[in-house]
Amino acid sequence: MRTALAVVTMALMACAVQAQDAAKNFFLHDGDTVVFYGDSITEQQMYAADIENYVTTRFPKMRVRFINSGWGGDRVSGGGGGPIETRLRRDVLPYKPTVVTIFLGMNDGGYHPFDEPTFQTYARGLTHIVDELQKSLPHVRLTLFTPSLFDNKDGQPAGSAPYNQALIKYGDFVKQLGARRGIPVVDLNAPMVAATVKGRETDPKFTLANDNVHPGPVGHLIMASAILQVWDAPPALGLVLTPGQPTTLTLPAPWPVPGDAHQALDVSPLPGPLARVTVTSSAMTPPDARYALLADGQVVGTFTGAQLAPGAGVDLTQYPDLPLNKQAQAVAAINNERINRWHEYFKGGNGIARADDKPTRDEIGALTALDKWLDAWRVRAHDSAQPKPHTFELRSAAATTTP
Query: Rounded CA gap, 38 and 65, in Å?
Result: 17
In the prediction, which pLDDT does 286 show? 87
Residue 24: CA count within 13 A, CB half-sphere? 6
Q: How confident is the model at residue 375 (pLDDT cuts 50, 70, 90)?
A: confident
For residues 46 and 68, is the Cβ–Cβ distance under 8 A? no
Please indicate whether residue 320 or residue 355 has the higher confidence score (pLDDT): 320
Q: So what CATH class is 2-237+322-384?
A: alpha beta
Chain centroid, CA 265 distance in Å: 13
For 263-319, what is each residue's pLDDT tens digit?
999 999 999 999 999 999 987 788 889 999 999 999 999 999 999 999 899 999 999
In the prediction, which pLDDT does 3 show? 40
What's the rounded mean pLDDT across residues 4-23?
A: 47
Q: How confident is the model at residue 7 (pLDDT cuts 50, 70, 90)?
A: very low
Q: How confident is the model at residue 4 (pLDDT cuts 50, 70, 90)?
A: very low
Query: Rounded CA gap, 378 and 34, in Å?
Result: 14
Please indicate whether residue 182 or residue 259 has the higher confidence score (pLDDT): 182
The domain ranges of the chain are: 2-237+322-384
Residue 334: CA count within 13 A, CB half-sphere? 21
Query: Rounded CA gap, 376 and 48, in Å?
Result: 20
Which H, E and C letters describe the chain, residue by residue? CHHHHHHHHHHHHHHHHHHHHHHHHCCCCCCCEEEEEECHHHHCCHHHHHHHHHHHHHCCCCCCEEEEEECCCCECCEECCEEHHHHHHHHCHHHCCCEEEEECCCCCCCCCCCCHHHHHHHHHHHHHHHHHHHHHCCCCEEEEECCCCCCCCCCCCCCCCHHHHHHHHHHHHHHHHHHHHCCCEECCHHHHHHHHHHHCCCCCCCCCCCCCCCCCHHHHHHHHHHHHHHCCCCCCCCEEECCCCCEEEEECCCCCCCHHHCCHHHHCCCHHHHHCCEEEECCCCCCCCEEEEEECCEEEEEEECCCCCCCCCEEHHHCCCCHHHHHHHHHHHHHHHHHHHHHHHHHCCCCHHHCCCHHHHHHHHHHHCHHHHHHHHHHHHHHHCCCEEEEEEEEEHHHCCCC
In the prediction, which pLDDT does 398 show? 72
Please indicate whether residue 362 or residue 237 has the higher confidence score (pLDDT): 237
Percent residues over pLDDT 70 in the chain: 87
In the prediction, which pLDDT does 1 show? 37
For residues 252 and 58, is the Cβ–Cβ distance under 8 A? yes
For 320-337, what is each residue's pLDDT tens digit?
999 999 999 999 999 999
pLDDT > 90? residue 402: no
The total number of residues written for the chain in this structure: 403
What's the rounded mean pLDDT across residues 353-377?
A: 64
